[in-house]
Amino acid sequence: MNAGISPSRLPLSVALLRHAVLLTTGTLILLPFVWMLSLSIKPPGEIFRASFSFWPDKLYAVENYTKALSETPLLRYMGNGVLVCTMILLSQILVCAPCAYALAKLRFPGRGLLFGLVLVGLLLPHQVLALPLFALGHQLGILDTYAALIFPYIVSPFGIFLFRQFFKTIPDDLVHAARLDGVSELAIVWRIMLPMALPAVIAFSIFSLVSHWNDLFWPLIAVRDQSLMPPSLGIMAFKNEEAGNDYGPLMAASTLVVLPLVIAFLAAQKWFVEGMTGGAVK
Partner 1 sequence: MASVSIESIRKDYSLVPVLRNVSLSIADGEFLTLLGPSGCGKSTLLRILAGLEVQDAGSVRIAERVVDGLRPKRRDIAMVFQSYALYPHMSVASNMALPLRMRRLSALQRLPVLGRLLPGTAQITADIDMEVSHTAKSLGIGHLLPRKPGQLSGGQRQRVAVGRAMVRHPAVFLMDEPLSNLDAKLRVQMRAEIKELHRRLGVTFVYVTHDQAEAMTLSDRVAVMLDGELLQVAPPQDIYADPDNRRVAEFIGSPKINMFDGVVRERGLIDVAGSTLTIEADAITGTALSLGIRPEAFYLAERGGQGTLTGSVRMIEHMGSDLFVYLDLAGIDQPLIARLLAERAPHIVPGQTLHVGVRPERILLFTRDGRRLRPDRDSSKGAVTPFREVAR
Q: What is the contact surface with partner 1 in residues (CB under 8 A)?
A: 171, 173-174, 176-183, 187, 192, 195-196, 198, 278, 281-282
Q: In this structure, which amino acid lies at residue 173?
A: D
**From CA 189, how far away is CA 58, in angstroms rounded?**
58
Burial (0-12, 13-18, 19+ Cβ within 10 Å), 155: middle
Question: Measured from the CB of residue 278, what is the shortest distance to partner 1 in angstroms?
Answer: 8
Pick between residue 159 and residue 275 the one whose CB is nearest to partner 1.
275
Distance of closest approach, residue 184 Cβ to partner 1, in angstroms? 8
The residue among 168 and 179 lying less far from partner 1, judged by its C-beta, is 179
Q: Which is nearer to partner 1, 170 or 243 (CB)?
A: 170
What CA–CA distance (Å, rounded) separates 86 from 23?
A: 35
Shortest Å distance, C-beta 168 to partner 1: 16
Q: Using only the alpha carbons of the chain, give its radius of gyration.
A: 23
Q: How far is the CB of 189 from partner 1 (least distance, A)?
A: 13
Least distance from C-beta 82 to partner 1, angstroms?
Answer: 24
Distance CA 123, CA 237 (A): 31
- Whichever of 230 and 275 has its CB closer to partner 1, that residue is 275
244 — alpha (psi -120 to 50), left (phi > 0) or beta? left
Sequence-ordered list of residues with C-beta below 8 angstroms from that of 137, at least 6 positions apart, any chain: 143, 148, 151, 222
Q: Which is nearer to partner 1, 201 or 233 (CB)?
A: 201
Quick one: 16 or 187, whose CB is closer to partner 1?
187
> Chain centroid to CA 166: how far?
20
Task: Give CA–CA dist 49/52, Å, rounded.
Answer: 7
Minimum Å distance from CB 198 to partner 1? 8
State the Cα–Cα distance between residues 211 and 275, nearest whole angstrom: 22
